[in-house]
Chain A
């Protein structure tokens, strides 16, 4: 077996090896195995050097979430009926309302979770996909940070849905005040699920391949 050079790092693929995604066991995998997909001896997971059709699948999920962003932002996420007066809020108008009421920190939290994070996530995934596809010279350090961030922050966008779930239950006082959900929140839930799936189908090793090949 080749020892990693002191300066560089050896990839498993360059040695014809593939680590099982579930149990992390290394397997010898020849490039042409015919029709049958080799499976991990330990846990039975299919083995690939890289996730199959990673770019196409991630693009599909990403474009779906971009389309869902439109209804998520134009339809109301919540309707408040208070003493006969009805007011509907979209994600953005809800944030503005909070800021106007002087709740700046909470407006900031909601803004980050429901506007900033989804938009950044969509942009970051697009950038990562383009980088992997066109072999762009984005710094590896930046790409890695971007990818980790996409993984780490995605779940926090669920905040708005949870807030709606709490508010519709708590503010259920008949004529005095009632809060109901809205179609925008349904679409927003779709955006979060799609971007989380997209982050999973994206194979970050594709970004490193370029560096490891170009030595």
Chain B
């Protein structure tokens, strides 16, 4: 008896699965745990790639629009500052949160968590990091933003010459990195590792 399904409260008798396997709830089918092959390496590689792509993806131009000789281009960052200039603070905040802040925090958290796990340092603050990572996950919306860029692209085709720029490809890199990073992170394994080592450290003190 290991845990209960978060969606239907059904007892899950074992969480032990092989690498590359997925475990679903026998009653409701909710995904309980998935272990990717070489999950640790994947998280680390994706976090590194995400770090490299993060700044270019946000400050390099995504698209360039050319209307009668006048050209403009946009970046993720300028999309936010423009909304702020127009005093749409709430919208600016939402775009900032979902496309810049959450992916940034996720990269920091995931890379730090797997670093501590790999080097076996069960710091006291690891639970706080894991909880935070779990809660903000659904607010990272890079793939939705990408669809927004594509929709805008098609909308503007009629207005003038429009083309993708270097920032667009960096953005795709950042998006793929964060998706690989967050889906490969095996929360169950890290919680149990922390638990065992934390208790051992506490017992050692007594």
Structural contact, B27 and A208, CB atoms closer than 8 A: yes
Structural contact, A169 and B7, CB atoms closer than 8 A: no
Kindly supply a per-residue 1/0 record for chain B positions 1-41, scoring 1 wherever the CB is within 8 Å of any chain A CB and 0 otherwise: 11111111111010000000000001111100000000000
Residues of chain B within 8 A of A208, CB atoms compared: 7-10, 27-28
Chain B residues near A166 (CB-CB < 8 A):
62-63, 74, 79, 148-149, 152
CA gap between A208 and B27 in the complex, in Å: 10
Contact residues, A190-215 vs B (CB, 8 A): 190, 192-193, 196, 204-205, 207-209, 212
Q: Is A165 an interface residue (CB 8 A)?
A: yes
Asked whether A43 lies within 8 Å of B67 as measured between CB atoms, the reply is no
When the two chains form their complex, are residues B73 and A176 in contact, meaning their CB atoms are under 8 A apart? no
Residues of A contacting B7 with CB < 8 Å? 144, 147, 204-205, 208
A190 to B88, CA, bound (A): 13
B residues near A19, Cβ cutoff 8 Å:
3-6, 9
Binding site for A on B (CB under 8 A): 1-11, 13, 26-30, 62-63, 65, 67-68, 70, 72-75, 78-80, 82-83, 86, 88, 90-91, 94-95, 98-99, 127, 130-131, 134, 138, 141, 144-145, 147-149, 151-152, 154-156, 158-159, 187-188, 191, 194-195, 198
Please judge, given known A-B contacts A24-B3, A163-B152, whether A189 and B91 are in contact too, CB under 8 Å: yes
Instruction: Tell me the nearest residue of chain B to A180, going by C-beta.
Output: B86
- List the B side residues contacting A164 at CB < 8 Å: 83, 91
**Would A155 and B127 be within 8 Å (CB), given that A18-B4, A162-B145, A172-B72 are in contact?**
no
Q: Is the CB of B4 within 8 A of A17?
A: yes
Other than the given A106-B151, A168-B82, 5 more pairs (CB < 8 A) read A23-B191, A42-B191, A166-B148, A171-B65, A176-B67
CB neighbours (8 Å) of B152 from chain A are 163, 166-167, 170
Separation of A26 and B32 alpha carbons in the complex (Å)? 14
Any B CB within 8 A of the CB of A15? yes
Cα distance, A192 to B141, chains bound together (Å) = 13
Determine if A9 and B91 form an interchain contact, defined as CB atoms under 8 angstroms apart: no
| Selected contact of A12 from candidates B9, B79, B158, B194, CB within 8 Å | B9
Contact of B74 among A18, A101, A170, A173 (CB under 8 A): A170
What are 19 pairs between A and B in contact, CB < 8 Å? Answer: A9-B26, A17-B4, A23-B187, A25-B191, A42-B194, A43-B127, A109-B147, A144-B29, A147-B7, A158-B98, A161-B94, A166-B62, A167-B155, A168-B82, A171-B72, A173-B70, A176-B68, A186-B90, A193-B94
At the interface, yes or no: A69 with Cβ under 8 Å from chain B?
Answer: no
Question: Chain A's nearest CB lies how many Å from the CB of B145?
Answer: 5
| Residues of B contacting A209 in the complex (Cβ-Cβ under 8 angstroms) | 9
- Find the B residue at minimum CB distance from A199: B138
Total count of chain A residues near the partner, CB < 8 A: 68
A168 to B3, CA, bound (A): 48
Residues of B within 8 A of A181 (CB): 83, 86, 88, 91
Residue of B nearest to A143 (CB): B28
Q: How far is the CA of A151 from the CA of B94 in the complex (A)?
A: 18
User: Are A15's CB and B11's CB within 8 A?
Assistant: yes
Min CB distance A158 to B, Å, is: 5
A24 to B23, CA, bound (A): 14
Knowing A169-B74, A173-B72, say if A10 contacts B10 (CB, 8 Å): yes
B72 adjacent to A170 (CB under 8 Å): yes
Quick check: A9 and B29 within 8 Å, CB to CB?
A: no
Whether A169 lies near B154 (C-beta < 8 A) is no
- Cβ of A11 within 8 Å of any chain B Cβ, yes or no, is yes
Shortest CB–CB separation between residue B100 and chain A, in angstroms? 11
B28 lies within 8 A of A26 (CB): no
